[in-house]
A and B are shown apart, each in its own frame.
Chain A
Amino acid sequence: MSSHPDPTSPSASRASAGEGTLLEARGISKSFGGVHALEDADFSCEAGEIHALLGANGAGKSTLVKVLSGVQRADAGTIALGGETVSFAGPADAARHGVATVFQELSLFPHLTVAENILIGHQPTGFLGQISQRRMRAEVRGLFDSLGVDHIAPGAHVSDLSLADRQLVEIFKALSKKPKLLILDEGTSALGRKEVQRLFDLLRKLKAGGTSVIFISHRMSEIREFVDRMTIFRNGRHVATVKAAEASDGEIVEMMLGQRVERSFPEKTAVETNAPPLLELSGFSAGSGLHDISLSLRRGEVLGLAGLEGQGQGTLLLALFGAYRGIGGEVTIAGKPAKVASPWDAKASGIALIPEDRKTEGLVLPMSVRENITFSVLGRLGRFGFVSPAKEKAFVARMMERLAVKAASMELPARSLSGGNQQKLVLAKWLETGADVFLFYDPTRGIDVGTKQAFYELIVGLTREGKGVILYSTETSELIGLCHRVAVMDDGRIALTLQGDDITEQDILAASLGVGRGRGEGAAVMEAAQ
């Protein structure tokens, strides 16, 4: 049980030395309805190492995680933990064996407190079995303190936390079981730059304490610097395991995709600068989160929203889509005043939103691919309020082809698709509603490189058709690669708008932090703005 390595020894060399294997999975196969999610897959993880698991959509990462954490049973294969063959009866059993997992779908209880969520199932109890709230909060506070988290109150309700903080709570929930092996499935997808750094520090401390971490993320450049080894999966099989320092980004992507793919952005659409704006906001505001926003968007243009996390970028998109009350200012679309008092007003005005959380705001997960795609255009697919099945099927088939949605059948529930394909469904829903303005809320969060690329093509494709796009992304490279202009937001206002060659990582960061760079146009404009 206690095979924790000596924390003083350099764990990086220990990991590569091949001694002290903590987890060894061999020949794992798992299929769902004839589709092989995993086929004779191997995976192993050393004690006290941070191990990244990489792969494109449908490579089998999530299935492997579910098998390793006891959520699903493999059809074939063995798992050994510390040299002993194990078979988990369920997630609780896996946790008893020292394997704790943070899943892609958050398993939190929004209406319980942070402390209750973290300690659920093993709360400290008194002699009558009553839970001691005081001891519970103290325990959670201790857990937070030990890893340097001080901004979340143990007594707060999870429903009041930001997505990033919820993810931290989820991670602490796994940590509270004092695991030997912590599995993070897309653990950083909702986190901003600062939070990711904090998480990495936290994981390094865990590793120093002898805990192994399996880490799944699409942010390859971010995780490289702190993982020891990487395992690449493709089509349900193990492709390679390499030391993080020994493979280049290009090589890894190549292994993930099976072919050499440069991550490149399609050429930006040329925008006619004299054309009248498609969308114009003046003095636009929403409660205390958004003040006096004035901007314009031309046809064919991609306007980026940047800034530190939570500076009003999301609020701006949601308010434009009518999700907020008490909005002020003027919105005009193609020269006419537009009403955005509610999402249906916004839709009627020609605005489409690809929302932040595709699972709850973008899709109805239990419903089929077909139903999800046709929700917003049902009125057009039939007559007298009845939907014509033939027209509907033809429409769905066309959209699936256009967006290259990978699904065995259009009748499958949206839940069964991978993250990238789910996101495509969200977009498919809006493509033919006649919308002119597309709002993207961090659309490539948690989806793999190949699908990201497809999304870039789609966004640029929209601009070629004369649509206008407002893109909020937490990945600066996307803003640089796709946007004609980038508005950097700070405290609910637009602090600065960068254009053309001024859209660089440095300029965006400098503007986000409110500091000058002392070079180029960006700094000059910013000084003028102050």
Chain B
Amino acid sequence: MILRRYKTSLLAIVGLVLLLGYYWYQQPLIVSPFGFRLLANQGTTLALAALAQLTVVLTGGVDLSVGAIVSLSNAIAATYMGDSPWSVFGVVLLTLGAGAGAGLVNGLLVAYGRIQPIIVTLATLYVYSGFALLIRPQPGGSVPGYYASTLTGAWGWLPYSLIVLLVITLAFRMPIMRSRLGTAIYAVGDNPGGAHMSGINVPRTLVSAYVIGGVLAACAGLFLTAQTTSGDATVGTSYTLNSVAAVVFGGAILGGGRGVALGPIVAAFFISIIISVLFAAGVSSFYQSVFQGAILILVLMFGNAWTLRARNRLTVLRS
């Protein structure tokens, strides 16, 4: 039963293991406390963004504003954080609140405005990017050193970033997804009409999913700030589409209703690390994005070949 639940994550796991194996062969130094820390930090921001995206995708929507919320969080954190532990704490809360607010607006527009998610979040992508630019017109700002090292440091072989990711996944997202709300999110994505007929409050479920997504995107922004230790209103741009890629690669279905956290997290690491691997393999930087895209397509094709082996094709089309 448990295996079945995580079966959709298998492709991403196999992909990451092979990629890391090849990386190790190219660059033996990555198997070291320092290398582990580097790898973990490299993937955590996208992993959090992918969790944000996954929560929305499960309802059958998509959140194009994830990258803008990452940028906005980064701008807020790097601009206002200050040095004292109390101001750091306050600004972290403020940033998370901003993420929740951004998600709330997305959710209200989708659920009650009856506008398609892709258009709502495309519009708010511009709005939130605008806010980020207002807060931080030029790159700059700073965060205290202890803030950065607490999130990106390591204890021997154990990078703190993995602990952060684990805590957010297991202590924040998982309890929600295992509650009635979580089941409702899956149900709404799986069969919205049926969800309504079953007495689920569909609009409230949608709003909740976007709020959770907004908070997780803000978490991604906060971690990114620890990594870069400065603010930049455009730093999050790449996370929008990469988070969608990670979610799909991680076994979730864009139509909604299916997907677990493990796959997208692993896929996020795959996507984040691949650039470094291509660099280590000596691929010219001109070809790196070509290779990056081609590898993603190949991996996904390999994964689909698996499902297409099903005998009755109607079941494939239906699923």
Interface, chain A (partner B; CB < 8 A): 71, 90-92, 95, 101, 103, 105-112, 116, 120-121, 123, 125, 128-131, 155, 157, 159, 173, 286-287, 318, 323-326, 342, 360-361
Contacts and interface: CB of A to CB of B under 8 A. Distances in A.
Contacts of B186: 109, 111-112
A107 B191 contact: yes
Given A111-B257, A128-B175, A123 B180 contact: yes
A116 B311 contact: no
A116 B258 CA distance: 14
20 contacts: A71-B197, A91-B197, A107-B198, A109-B190, A109-B191, A110-B190, A110-B191, A111-B186, A111-B190, A111-B258, A112-B186, A120-B183, A129-B179, A130-B179, A131-B179, A318-B314, A323-B313, A324-B311, A342-B313, A361-B314
A112 B194 CA distance: 12
Interface string B176-210: 00111011101100110111111111000000000
A91 B195 CA distance: 10
B319 interface: yes
Nearest to B175: A130
A322 B193 CA distance: 31
B312 interface: yes
Interface in B127-180: 175, 178-180
Contacts of A120: 183-184, 187, 195, 198, 200
Nearest to A71: B197
A125 B179 contact: yes
A323 B312 contact: yes
Given A91-B199, A112-B190, A155-B1, A323 B179 contact: no
Interface residues of B, number: 32
A110 B258 CA distance: 10
Interface of B: 1, 4, 175, 178-180, 182-184, 186-187, 190-191, 193-201, 257-258, 309-314, 318-319
Given A109-B187, A112-B187, A131-B183, A91 B198 contact: yes
A110 B311 CA distance: 19
Contacts of A323: 312-314
B187 A130 contact: no
B180 A121 contact: yes
Contacts, number: 96
B1 to A, nearest CB: 5
A318 B318 CA distance: 14
A451 B21 CA distance: 64
Nearest to B179: A129
Contacts of B197: 71, 91, 101, 103, 107
Contact of A286 (B196, B311, B318): B311
Nearest to A136: B183
A107 B312 CA distance: 24
B314 A121 contact: no
Contacts of A342: 313
A198 B206 CA distance: 39
Contacts of A324: 311-313
B180 A112 contact: no
Contacts of B318: 360
Nearest to A121: B199
A323 B312 CA distance: 6
Contacts of B4: 157
Given A121-B198, A121-B200, A107 B175 contact: no
A103 B198 CA distance: 10
A101 B184 CA distance: 19
Contacts of A90: 196, 199
Contacts of B258: 111
Nearest to A133: B178
Contact of A159 (B175, B183, B311, B319): B319
Contacts of B191: 107-110
A91 B202 CA distance: 12
Given A125-B179, A129-B179, A109 B314 contact: no
Nearest to A355: B314
Nearest to B259: A111
A143 B192 CA distance: 26
Contact of A125 (B180, B194, B195, B201): B180
Given A111-B190, A318-B314, 16 more contacts: A90-B196, A91-B199, A95-B199, A101-B197, A108-B191, A109-B186, A111-B257, A111-B258, A112-B190, A121-B180, A121-B184, A130-B178, A131-B179, A157-B4, A324-B311, A325-B311
Nearest to B201: A92
B183 A112 contact: yes
Contacts of A125: 179-180
Given A325-B311, A325-B313, A92 B199 contact: yes
A92 B201 CA distance: 9
Contacts of A105: 193-194
A95 B182 CA distance: 22
A123 B200 CA distance: 12
B286 to A, nearest CB: 40
B309 to A, nearest CB: 8
Contacts of A116: 183
